[in-house]
Chains A and B, each alone.
Chain A
Amino acid sequence: MNAPVVSDIVERNPGTAFDLGVVQAVRVNRSAVERRAATIPIRRTVKREWQAAWLLRALTCIDLTTLSGDDTPGTVRRLCAKARQPVRQEILAALDMGHADLHVGAVCVYHALVPTAVESLAGSGIPVAAVSTGFPAGLNPFEQRLAEIKASVAAGAQEIDIVISRAHVLQGDWQALYDEIQAFRTACGTAHMKTILATGELGTLRNVARASMVCMQAGADFIKTSTGKESVNATLPVSLVMVRAIRTFYEQTGYCVGFKPAGGIRTAKQSLDWLSLIKEELGDRWLHADLFRFGASSLLGDIERQLEHYVTGHYASLAYQPLG
């Protein structure tokens, strides 16, 4: 199958029937995956204007996120303002990108703050994403988890980041995982569903690959590494395994599923590594916000600093970048 091109409009993944054969055929060699992942940051690099352009692309793929117990409407409104204007105007002008309507990929919050975010982002075209289904552990009663999705969608969330039941993976009950995710997908309706695997709690890369396949069969629009609350979150080896699963699913079905690494991606350099990974393993079509997101809160600030460094030639301070 030929790789999709940028002009293609991606048709939403409707999911497929559960296919245990595909799931069990998955093979992942951890050492080989780690070797490949280790070369991603050193086989590829971008410098000068390429670096600036790639960083701008990275920021358009950020799900600007706040998931703290002390979030208030005030902090969320501030974050939304930052989402609309992620880089200082004079920096964009110096990059000759002043005309571009650059904004982040989405703003990601808990359900309670969805209304505030929706209101703050009105007219911007920036979707609101809500973490859901008993985030981060996902152990609330099943009916409550479905109800939570529906409530967030009703409140205006266009994207729902659900968490899977890790127990289904750890017990090898792939049918149960499929049924659960399919139910979530139905509850999402028109909202796009990002499926958080919580890879740090799945034990093996093979489990990560198998869970990825099951979630895509069940209709995930995105597969996402982590909640950001596990002790190990997005890593390049885990991401490599997931994007290869996405490629396999595309080869098998023709549907493009998005990818979202989340947790621990804080530096501009890291964001470039992930972009290289996506470009090399999935191709250029996946380097757009409809198929790729970073789940991050502090990444944007570092990207701003690096862009300022590109413009001015001297190293920049975080204090000069407006807070989100």
Chain B
Amino acid sequence: MQIAEIFETMSYGPAPETAKPALDWLAAHDRRFQLFIDNGWRDPAEDGWFTITNPATGQELAQVAQGSAADVGAAVAAAHAAAPGWRALPGHLRARYLYALARQIQKQARLLAVLETLDNGKPIRETRDLDIPLVARHFYYHAGWAQLMATSFPDYEPVGVIGQIIPWNFPLLMLAWKVAPALAMGNTVVLKPAEYTPLTALLFAEIVAAVGLPPGVLNVVTGDGTTGALLVEHPDIDKIAFTGSTEVGRIIRRTTAGTGKRLSLELGGKSPFIVFDDADLDSAVEGVVDAIWFNQGQVCCAGSRLLVQEGVAPLLHSKLRARMERLRIGDPLDKAIDIGAIVAPVQLERINTLVQQGVADGATLWQPSWACPTEGSFFPPTLFTDVAPASNLAQVEIFGPVLVSMTFRTPSEAVLLANNTRYGLAASVWSEDINLALDVAQGIKAGTIWINSTNLFDAAAGFGGYRESGFGREGGKEGLWDYLKLRVAIRGVGIAPVSSPVDPAPVAGSNGHAPASNGHLPAALFESVPIDRTAKLYIGGKQARPDSGYSRPIHDPQGRLLGEVGIGNRKDIRNAVEAARSAAAGWAKQTGHVRAQILYYLAENLAVRTAEFARRIADQRGASEADGRREVEAALEALFSAAAWADKYDGAVHQTPMRTVTLAVHEPVGVLGIACPDAAPLLALIVLVAPALAMGNTVVVIPSPHAPLTATDLYQVLETSDLPSGVLNIVTGDRDELGKVLAEHDDVDGVWYAGPQSGQAMIERASSGNMKRTWTLDGVDWQSPPTDEILRAATQVKNIWVPFGA
């Protein structure tokens, strides 16, 4: 074009970054990539290959090996063989390796950036300025943790061999988020990159070999979903770390249920972007650009639901439309491009379908006047207004550059709308009033909250979801726990469960009819119990009769009747969960000091009844009263311990390299279901329930089916201890039957299960409905419980980023 003409129009011209070094690198490998196992390259066992294309052009980039069962097996074996040496290496030496990886990544930064853009279609500006610098930052940061592991985590050891499955939206960054902490904590890794975008992982594998990481410490097996499934199913994997869709996460949860494999999942989202009328609206508009038009909106934490205070909605929308008109879409290698290509035609198709459906549903669509490139997979930035929360557009994760906008009137309505989703990954809150912003941040159920900002990431801050957005954290100290486990010596060995000598059988309740199969004569047995104490269920602060109308007798090991407890059923669980849910918000807002006072008061009231509880324990277990007294004393100590922690389990202020206060806040998980073990019926219940309450959770507890009377005896203690109604609910009955109802309940946020292996598998599988957190325990020494494990299970970390500046 003529300079004179440009001088008049002041248009932008092309500003391409050269692809030559990356294309040369591909050519040097004959555009064909094998599997990386034991620091060597090998052909796939079944000679399968698949094609990698550039989404911006549709042209083929390379052929990549399709990993089969034999390949996954070889990689896992290599990781296993490397594990003892790697974990035995002093932290300082692992730090040197991670440091070397960080340095090499920086040295090859531009090649990695260009290759990522070719492979994924995202703009070079993003890969160059965001992805790759953050990749290096993660390795630097975790080199530090490798150095500090021995002194910071003396009671912990590596988990073992980790299978890591990463998505295509941030290929190398997600690799770094997973590989860096795993290696730092002494684990070895088998990595399965995304099918669409494996190339930077393969270049990273070359870097790994070049820095001389011991063979087998990191292995890369490329392939499609079937390769990932093989990795998930492999028996010698100790933990799976997955980032991807909630749909696949759910399958992984079911597959690994009961295998003992640890699991961390970073899944989907439909994150709210909330703008109050006192926000800097021009800056909020830029925030929206960074929220939903970053990486073409293919971001799990994309701010895809714009919630605007009604009074400023028209103004904000008009500013937004003007801004959208100026976005530039096109060749991702162009340095002045805002929006690149959608990763694959199938994704483009999905976005198209959802958008068309939204239009058909009556939402108002707006797109800029300019046209998208016709070659390659491109989709224009899209704004939907007049969207109702009930519409599909407002609920489904579109994973594209599509924003849906809704309005609200008050802060509490904003929070209500924000939380009106199955997800809970992130949120962005815009207001110049810090009181308002922090209040809303506190109310939103999400793992990351950005105040007056969005999509800020750093290795020092944890990232991860609430609810169906998954569990586990990546980054920060909180991210390390997923790659650590308590040493066996610390965790102790368990007390063998007490077996019941009598099969529980239901007897007629006061208003029910005796079942036909029941041969007992309750009246005769009642005579052996001086005064009957009708043990009902404890729901919503009241003793409630079991819905079934059935009770069952509880005997001592000699077969003598000790009492009866109600047989709870799914409706009782439903009622208990409802009570716990209504109490949840108030209890969570209660101060740690007040929660501590209530737990101390519980201890006080339990203490005066020590003899009675000791006798009950002794009777149920057939043990001496001295044994029972010891258990009561231990329970009192556990109550004191939980009360002590109630106002001391502090969060952290992370050192993110920006002018922000980044608060890592410990929040309660929410409504917890806890199924108690048979051993130590009082102590185990208190050891599990008291910290859960101390951290602000409300609880539905299923006591030991064999020794439930200690729990039912607690009702009176609870009633005299100022515990608000609904905070603790007790439902006696069959542990696995009731546990399953809890695990399947969509309004329960977490389930702990201390029972047999078969039950653990059932609970983990059943939990996949709403992807609730599960914690299965066995081998716990209840006299010296793993307190910090319990506290971690009772909390989730929310990172609140608060940039500041006068």
Which A residues form the contact surface with B (CB < 8 A)? 3, 6, 27-36, 42-50, 52-54, 56-57, 95-97, 100, 203-204, 244, 247, 275, 279-280, 284, 287
Instruction: Say whether B657 faces chain A, with CB atoms less than 8 Å apart.
Output: no
Let me know if A31 and B125 touch, CB within 8 A. no
The reply to whether B13 and A27 contact each other, CB–CB distance below 8 Å, is: no
**Contact present for A100 and B4 (CB under 8 Å):** yes
Q: CB < 8 Å: which of B12, B286, B805 contacts A50? A: B12
| A49: contacting residue among B1, B281, B284, B453, CB under 8 A | B1
- Asked if B283 contacts A57 (CB within 8 A), the reply is no
When C-beta atoms are compared, the residue in chain B nearest to A240 turns out to be: B282
Given contacts A3-B322, A53-B4, 8 further A-B contacts (CB under 8 A): A27-B432, A28-B280, A28-B283, A29-B280, A29-B452, A36-B283, A47-B14, A53-B10
**Interface contact A47-B13, CB-CB below 8 Å:** yes
Q: Contact: A31 with B453, CB < 8 Å?
A: yes
Q: Is the CB of B805 within 8 A of A31?
A: yes
Cα of A3 to Cα of B1 in the assembled complex, Å: 26
Q: Is the CB of B3 within 8 A of A95?
A: yes
The reply on B287 being an interface residue by CB < 8 A is yes
On chain B, the residues within 8 Å of A244 by CB distance are: 282
Q: Could you say which residues of chain B place their CB within 8 Å of the CB of A29?
A: 279-280, 283, 432, 452, 805
Cα A93 to Cα B776 with chains together (Å): 80
Please indicate the chain B residues that have their CB under 8 angstroms from the CB of A203 in the complex: 806
Q: Is the interface of A mostly helix, strand, loop or mixed?
A: helix
What's the nearest-Cβ distance from chain A to residue B658, in Å?
Answer: 8
A204 to B278, CA, bound (A): 18
Contact of A31 among B1, B4, B452 (CB under 8 A): B452
Chain A residues within an 8 Å CB radius of B758: none
Residue numbers of B with Cβ under 8 A of A are 1-15, 125, 129, 278-284, 286-287, 322, 326, 335-336, 338, 432, 452-453, 659-660, 803-806
The residues of B that contact A31 with a CB separation of less than 8 Å are 452-453, 659-660, 803-805
Partner of B279, one of A27, A30, A54: A27
The answer on a CB contact under 8 Å between B326 and A280 is yes
Q: A32-B452, A96-B4 are in contact. Are A46 and B804 (CB under 8 A)?
A: no
A53-B326 in contact (CB<8A): no
A42 to B126, CA, bound (A): 10
For A49, the chain B residues whose CB sits under 8 A away are 1-3, 6, 13
Given contacts A29-B452, A30-B805, A31-B804, contact A45 B15 (CB under 8 A): yes
Inter-subunit contact B10/A287 (CB<8 Å): yes
* A36→B280 CA distance, assembly (Å): 13
**Beta-carbon contact of A27 and B336 below 8 Å:** no
A204 contacts B806, CB within 8 Å? yes
Q: Nearest Cβ in chain B — how far from A238, in angstroms?
A: 13
A32 touches B4 (CB 8 A): no
Q: Is the CB of A32 within 8 A of B803?
A: yes
A50 in contact with B13 given A29-B283, A31-B453, A97-B4 (CB within 8 Å): yes
Q: How distant is the Cα of A203 from the Cα of B806 in the complex, in angstroms?
A: 9
Residue of A nearest to B659 (CB): A31
By a CB distance below 8 angstroms, the chain A residues around B336 are 43-46
Residue among B5, B10, B286, B336 with the highest chain A CB neighbour number at 10 A: B10
Contact assessment for B7 and A97 in the assembled complex, using a CB-CB cutoff below 8 Å? yes
- B contact residues around A36 at 8 Å (CB): 283, 286
B805 touching A53, Cβ below 8 Å = no
Which residues of chain A come closer than 8 Å to B3, judged between CB atoms?
49, 52-53, 56, 95-97
Nearest Cβ distance between residue B756 and chain A, in whole angstroms?
Answer: 53
Q: Which residues of A contact B11 (CB under 8 A)?
A: 50
> Is B806 within 8 A of A53, CB to CB?
no
Q: How far is the CA of A44 from the CA of B336 in the complex (A)?
A: 4
Q: Sample 9 A-B pairs with CB under 8 A, ordered by A number.
A: A27-B432, A50-B6, A53-B7, A54-B6, A54-B10, A56-B7, A57-B7, A244-B282, A247-B282
